[in-house]
Amino acid sequence: MINKIQLFQKHFHLVFISILLLSCQATQKTSTTQAALFNHWVHSHEEDSEGLSYYRLHNYAFPRSRGRLGFEISKDGEFVLYAIAAADGQNRQVGTWHYAGSDSVVAQFPLTNTPQFSFKILSCENGLLKIRH
């Protein structure tokens, strides 16, 4: 009887430690993704595929294109949307953002007629943000 109890305790500790380590790795990845997300992103529409949108950092060497959508997301809750305006210019809309769940962002622009802008983060690493609208 004692052997079964000791065996259970030994395995319980291994399972508990494994779960703890997995949760630490997920938290580290999430915080790394969050830190990388706080940046100025520009739509790289040439890379879009199968309902996925790709954004690159604003200083990326994009090929020539007529107008590009972009946004800037700040840690303090500010969200700036750079919409395509007349003559390929940019229309800057300032709003706020928040997380909707662990991997989705919702931006709102209460002082303008700009509709809500939301997306699910699929990955954010090495200057490339992959999202689904």
Per-residue model confidence as pLDDT tens digits over 67-89 = 999 999 999 999 999 999 988 78
Domain boundaries defined on the chain = 1-37, 39-132
Distance, in Å, from the CA atom of 75 to the CA atom of 4, rounded to the nearest integer, reads: 51
Domain 39-132: CATH architecture, name and number where available: Beta Barrel (2.40)
Task: Note the pLDDT of residue 87.
Answer: 81
3-state secondary structure of 107: strand
3-state secondary structure of 97: strand
Please list, in sequence order, all residues whose beta carbon lies within 8 angstroms of the beta carbon of residue 63, skipping any fewer than 6 positions away: 46
Distance, in Å, from the CA atom of 83 to the CA atom of 70, rounded to the nearest integer, reads: 7
pLDDT at 11 over 50: no
Q: pLDDT digit string (tens) for 21-57?
A: 333 334 344 565 678 999 999 999 999 999 999 999 9
3-state secondary structure of 72: strand
